[in-house]
Amino acid sequence: MTKHILSTAIMLAAMCFYAFSQDTHFSQFDAAPLYYNPALSGVNECHNRIYTNYKGQWGTYSTFMASYDQHLEKVQLLGGNIGLGGLVVADYSGENSYGNTQIKILPAYHYTIIPGVLRLSAGIDATFNIMSIDEEHVRLGKSIDPMTGKSTPGWTEYEHTTRFYADMGLGFNAQYNINPTFPVNFGVTFFRLFGSGGGGLAVATNEQGDNYRRFSLNANAVWPIDTRLSLLPSFIYTNQKMYNEMNVGTYLKCAMGEYTPLIDAIYGGMWYRVKDAIIFGLMFDKPINKNWTLQFGLSYDVTVSSYRASDHWAPTKNVKGDSFELSVKLLNCRAPIVVNPEGIVNDPFR
């Protein structure tokens, strides 16, 4: 028992001491577009687009995210359009009250090269971050008696219990319409261009330049099979120093139309996080009125890597490395949503 307490304490403390660990990731990355690429702010020409996400992982980590963006219809620049968005991400971990909160301001510029065929976008990720910890709940290795397992809270060497830093990123996206109902998106984003925030809350490494830059690629498409079925393949790759992550998979969407009064469309999907997990997803959407649409998503990650056999994480309530996510979207798009037996005619998710 003492061994498990000690290993857990060291792992959690290491995460708090160093800020250059891997940033938060979402399995439902399609439900967090602004988090992965600021160029997607206002790209859908919606009056309002609101996303919320919750991620629970290993019974230890919790992540909340909320984002808002819209297309600024009356603002034009050099023949292009402007989108504006913002989001908040809050991470909480373990019983040591470690928290990490990010606020992002996300302006974007969209320029149509070929009307109805090709549009290019660029966005800025202005990030403001604050880390905090409650020293009274921290358990470090040297504060735990190896014989009895008893610990003395508050015995830490943090220089700060809170720390603030700011940074910036750039994102780019291209949307190409193979035909009016078959769009393909591809984007690239460079995060933490200044590498600020390095060193976290620790004394010894309180230096700039240690918060490693993050790079990501994103791609997705809508491939209509017939009037009711569509495939929504998606892909994301991220790299941050020694960390690499790649997810690839698809939703299968079935438009219900007027066949049911409860939902308008249902989605089932699966993704593979390379060398780590299989992700299962279920989602549905329902128009609330002629403008607003509600979309609800649920996903569950099943760890398939060797980590699943690990017993380092709270064995009395071990969830074997699995995690789950919930997402809720509210969309208020330009054109009224028209529903008929063949499904949504002007589908806002396209």
Contact 202, 176 (CB under 8 A): no
Residue-wise pLDDT tens digits, 100-122: 899 999 999 999 999 989 999 99
Among 29-38, 284-293, 322-331, which stretch is predicted with the lowest mean pLDDT? Answer: 284-293
Kindly report the average pLDDT of the chain as a whole number. Answer: 77
- For residues 128 and 136, what is the distance between their CA atoms, to the nearest angstrom? 26
Q: Which residue has the tokens 């060291």?
A: 10
- For residues 144 and 51, what is the distance between their CA atoms, to the nearest angstrom? 42
Q: What angle do CA 289, 293, 299 make, to 5 degrees?
A: 150
Residue-wise pLDDT tens digits, 10-37: 333 333 333 344 577 788 888 889 999 9
**What's the average model confidence in pLDDT over 235-263?**
84
Q: Is the pLDDT of residue 73 over 70?
A: yes
Domain boundaries, the chain: 2-344
The β-bridge relationship of strands 339-340 and 343-344 is: antiparallel
Q: What is the per-residue pLDDT for 209?
A: 47
pTM strictly above 0.85? no
Calculate the CA 299 to chain-centre distance. 13
Select from 3.40.50.300, 3.90.180.10, 2.40.160.40, 3.30.460.80 the CATH code of 2-344.
2.40.160.40
Among 2-6, 82-86, 150-154, which stretch is predicted with the lowest mean pLDDT? Answer: 2-6
To the nearest whole percent, how much of the chain has pLDDT over 90?
36
97 or 193: whose pLDDT is higher? 193
Residue-wise pLDDT tens digits, 177-223: 998 888 899 999 999 888 776 655 554 444 444 567 889 999 999 89
Q: What is the per-residue pLDDT for 256?
A: 81
Contact 283, 304 (CB under 8 A): no
pLDDT band of 310, cuts 50, 70, 90: low
Q: Is the pLDDT of residue 337 over 70?
A: no
Q: Is the pLDDT of residue 260 over 70?
A: no
Residue-wise pLDDT tens digits, 149-181: 666 555 555 555 778 889 999 999 999 999 888
The burial of 40, by beta-carbon neighbours within 10 Å (0-12 exposed, 13-18 middle, 19 or more buried), is given as: buried
Contact 76, 83 (CB under 8 A): no
- For residues 175 and 42, what is the distance between their CA atoms, to the nearest angstrom? 13
